[in-house]
Amino acid sequence: MQYLKFGDTEIAIPTVFTIKKEKIMSDNAGITSNCNYVGDVKGIQTTVHIEWANLKPQEVAVIDQYVLNMQDLFFPMTYLDEEFEQITTNVRADGAAYEQWGWDKKRQLCKVLSLDLYAYSGAGGVT
């Protein structure tokens, strides 16, 4: 398997790939006056932070066709998780950040493309 895929498309290997998992708590979650935690776990939000360096315009276009798609908010992503297991999940992206464009031997390159993707799992219809 390639390191990273969006849909069926193999994506360039990133320079930074960070996985962060957080509990999504119910609206009534909090700490009581005697310091007990109350509330229910509604699900897990997984945030995947990805950065690429020195991408060609064609590589940026492939990423953009998924991230900036106006028709579908979510798209399938396949990656290796923190235990090196292959994971396929639907993710959404709010957008991408492009640090700067530069030139290398008459080629235009994106110096750094940064992206945060969000996946949700769990009970209670987490959206």
> What Å distances lie between residue 46 and 18, 35, 119, CA to CA?
10, 28, 5
For the cut 70, the answer to whether the pLDDT of residue 127 exceeds it is no
Residue 126 is assigned to a structural domain of this protein: no
Number of domains observed in the structure of the chain: 1
The pLDDT value recorded for residue 123 is 56
Whether 96 and 64 have beta carbons less than 8 Å apart is answered as yes
Residues 48-94: pLDDT tens digits?
999 998 888 889 889 999 998 878 889 999 998 878 889 899 999 88
pLDDT band at 108 (very low <50, low <70, confident <90, very high): low
Residue 109 is assigned to a structural domain of this protein: yes
Cβ-based neighbours of 118, under 8 Å, separated by 6 or more:
45, 46, 47, 48, 91, 92, 93, 94
pLDDT band at 120 (very low <50, low <70, confident <90, very high): confident
pTM of this prediction?
A: 0.77
Residue 65 domain boundaries: 4-121
Residue 127 is assigned to a structural domain of this protein: no
Residue 40 is assigned to a structural domain of this protein: yes
Q: Using CA atoms, how far apart are residues 51 and 105, in angstroms rounded to an integer?
A: 23
